[in-house]
Structure 1
Amino acid sequence: MTYRLNRDIPLADALRCTAREEITASLDALQQRPGEEAVHEVRKHCKKMRALLRLVRAQIPDCYRIENAHYRALANSLSGTRDAVSIRDALLMLAPPERFPNTFAFLQQNAKTQTDPEALAAAAEMLRQGLSRIDNWPLAQLHWRHTKHGYRQGYRRARKALSRARAEAGLEQYHELRKRVKDHWYHCRLLQDTWREATPRSAPLKQMAQALGDWRDLKLLCALLSRHSQSFSGELIPVINTAQERIVKLRGEVKQLGRTLFTEHTPHCKKNSPRRRARENKS
């Protein structure tokens, strides 16, 4: 499955096709993958659905509000499981389990206890409800030119979030920046057949989003371990110190990528010609 709008068909059809693919992939993950992986996949596809809708939100404001709230609630219903897994994986990113065995055992158990089969079943039902509404989305008046506004708006929101994070590099600011960077990254992926500038931005935006996610997970790891410091005799300080070293490096990476990716106030949008699209599709 490719997260990419087909430029050779009307925009309404392309949006519906991509939306169905995302929901179908989510339902397949719930049926075929273990709990942790299923949760990760469903939340990822919910974010991609919201980015898809956000691309044309100015033209479908009422539909956007309903559908965005639906997929936000769906993702949030699984956030406890995902955060616990992300924190455990943040430790594994720093060191193998045997280096900090007590800490790893605690985080592994925490991740297992957060898995909720009822939440997964409820998520599947919400996905089926969302799928049933796609044909009724009011997309008849949409044209490909409308994607330029959505693309530029997503860029400007990410740029503003970057400015706020530079002024105050707290957990809330970096979390918001990550969401906005991911939206812009998803828009670049969706529009790689439409706007020439979108394709080369995808890889560095993905890198920036990953760095922001790793930064957040490490901050959550440090906060959680500090609240349970009595359980990790001899391990807490080495874990925190190792995490802080990595956090500093990630902040530097985010700053560098931000300077490269968000220099313009408003990005240029040059059309991708059919011939150029054909060449890129072959490559």
Structure 2
Amino acid sequence: MSLKRIEQHRSFNGELCKYSHYSEVLQCEMTFSLYLPSNEEIKKIPLIWWLSGLTCTDDNFSQKSGFQRLAEKHQVAVIIPDTSPRGENVPDDEAWDLGQGASFYLDATQDPWAKHYKMYTYITDELTALASTLVPHFSGKESIMGHSMGGHGALVIGMKNAARFQAISAFSPILSPSQAPWGIKAFTAYLGEDKASWKEWDASELVKEASVPPVLITQGSQDAFYPKQLEETVFLKHAREKDRVVHYTKKEGYDHSYFFIATFLDEHFAFHMNYLR
């Protein structure tokens, strides 16, 4: 195994580690971060996945959100994948909202993206197998959360694996990517022109499926990308029609930044722990 621990930091009595490894799924070197709480009482530990947004790496959440305090408080492990495959041989784009740092957490089918851009399978299969070996006393219970593009990823992965994830939450998520400029651009590049193929990666379509875990969504009213990229109407309409457990709240005066995330992260951790205990 190529797994290497490249950073280690004590934080709130727990430990944050950064790892690198070669991904067979993505065909490139990848990094991810993992926080383990102190677990002084040697209890079973659940796991929360965090997916970051456009242009981010696994460092943004670990360095800006202050999540470690909450993970230690609730005695939960947190894993943070990178946002895309990376490297000199990995296709990229000059724009910031496509290519490296902008995977949209799907499995691409179109050239030149298809060889490397398979983040859905990487997270749900390869990184999942790694995580299970790195979390001592893992309870087997998982949930997933994310921000913006990562909010889209959390919803899609969570709903496509409803039997696995106990709950889903998102800050400022792209809820209807098939109808938003970011999503249309990415889906056209990664999946092709056939919009029928987009539906399996669109949260507003997936929320109509047979089983959906409980969902919490928090949106800032002063978000510069709202409503153009982050319109909620279609998703909430479909959720209501199917009687889904979806809590959508808009926070007055807050923007798209990690200041917003840090302010309401406590609410999200409490929501997840209701289902992970």
| TM-score bin (small chain) | under 0.3
**TM-score, normalised to structure 1's length?**
0.26
**TM-score, normalised to structure 2's length?**
0.27
Q: Which structure would you say has the larger Rg?
A: 1
